[in-house]
Amino acid sequence: MPDSDSTPSHAITVDAVSFGYPGVGDVLDRVSIDVRKGERLGVLGPNGGGKSTLLKIIMGLLRAKSGSVHVLGMDPAEARRTGRVGYLAQKVTADLAFPLSVRQVVAMPAAHRASPFGPTPKTALDAAMAALELVGATALAERPIAALSGGQLQRAMIARAVVTRPEVLLLDEPTVGIDVEGQRRFGELVEHLRRELNLTVVTVSHDLRTVATTSDRVACLRRTLHYHDAPAGLTPEVLREVFSHDVEAVFGSGTVDGHGHAHD
């Protein structure tokens, strides 16, 4: 498996990747992670554990100091630039003061490289409508982006993330600040998209419940890789190792104990 850099069955291979910021030291130390096509991988770790850095490396926004990364068998920046990788940020980073319709916003990743002559190409507008249909938000298409509720806005942002029909979807702390009901709906929506588009989904989170309930496999990350397997195999020992003193806070209502017992 380690030498299967770009085998077709893998969507993402991260091989012995190290990365550091000057004056801060290594944030990632020889991390190897593989994600199969169609798989849901959860990346779990404490704040500052290197999750975001790993995500940026998978997107090709940062270059690994050593080791190699392949996304869909190609250079990660190339995969991202060609629309094969969708990305949903933790917070809505958009400036909602812009006078734009939902459809204009959703079409952006599909339209920004279009010829400057003439109007937005029909293919991009059709792709935007198709993406809105996938998230069940076609009725919002002509609404100003500023007029959406929080939940509607999240749907629009998800639609934008899949408008180029990516093969890989990266979710960065998608459920931070969302109530339990909202988290459930979000999980269902992602699952629906995954089936419809044959997506490989990577979810980065410090929230164990999010990761455990929505992933086929979990990668526990704290500078090095501490665990890389099915969530059922997670033990309190592993989690203690990754989160050190934070375990109580992370476990919240004792979900992890539940998992541990179920597995015994």
Partner 1 sequence: MRTIEYLTDPALGPLYYPGLVTAVLVALLCAPLSVLVVLKRLAFVGQGVSHAAFGGVGVAVLVAATTGAGLFGPVGQAVVGASCVGSALMIWWLSHRDRSDGGRTTRHADTAIGLVLAGSMALGLVLHRKAGELAADAGRQAPPSLESVLFGSVWEAGWPSAVAAAVLLVAVLGGLVWWRRPLIFWAFDDAAAEAAGVPTGRMRLVLLVLLALAVLAAVRLAGVVLATAMLILPGMTALELSRRLWPVVVAGFGLALASVLLGLVLSFEAEIATGPAVVFVQIGMYAVVRGVRAVRGASGSAASGAG
Task: Note the residues at the interface with partner 1 (CB under 8 A).
Answer: 21-24, 53, 59, 61-62, 80-83, 85, 87, 89, 93-95, 97-101, 104-105, 108-109, 111-114, 116, 120, 144, 146-147, 157, 160, 164
Distance of closest approach, residue 95 Cβ to partner 1, in angstroms: 6
Distance of closest approach, residue 169 Cβ to partner 1, in angstroms: 11
Q: Which is nearer to partner 1, 78 or 229 (CB)?
A: 78
Distance of closest approach, residue 227 Cβ to partner 1, in angstroms: 26
Q: Which is nearer to partner 1, 137 or 250 (CB)?
A: 137
**CB within 8 Å of 117: residues ≥ 6 apart:** none
Distance of closest approach, residue 175 Cβ to partner 1, in angstroms: 18
Q: Which is nearer to partner 1, 157 or 242 (CB)?
A: 157
The secondary element (H helix, E strand) that includes residue 216 is: none
Q: Which is nearer to partner 1, 202 or 212 (CB)?
A: 202
**β-pairing, 10-21 with 168-172?**
unpaired
**β-pairing, 40-44 with 200-205?**
parallel
Token pair recorded at residue 144: 């100003």
Token pair recorded at residue 255: 């979900």
Q: Tell me, what amino acid is at 6? A: S
CA–CA separation, 207 vs 199, rounded Å? 22
Sign of the four-CA dihedral 151, 152, 156, 159: positive
Q: Which is nearer to partner 1, 66 or 98 (CB)?
A: 98
Instruction: Report residue 138 CA to chain centroid gap.
Output: 24
Q: In the beta sheet, which residues pair with residue 222?
A: 224
Q: Tell me, what amino acid is at 140? A: L
Distance of closest approach, residue 80 Cβ to partner 1, in angstroms: 6
Distance of closest approach, residue 31 Cβ to partner 1, in angstroms: 16
Q: Which is nearer to partner 1, 88 or 218 (CB)?
A: 88
Contact 11, 200 (CB under 8 A): yes
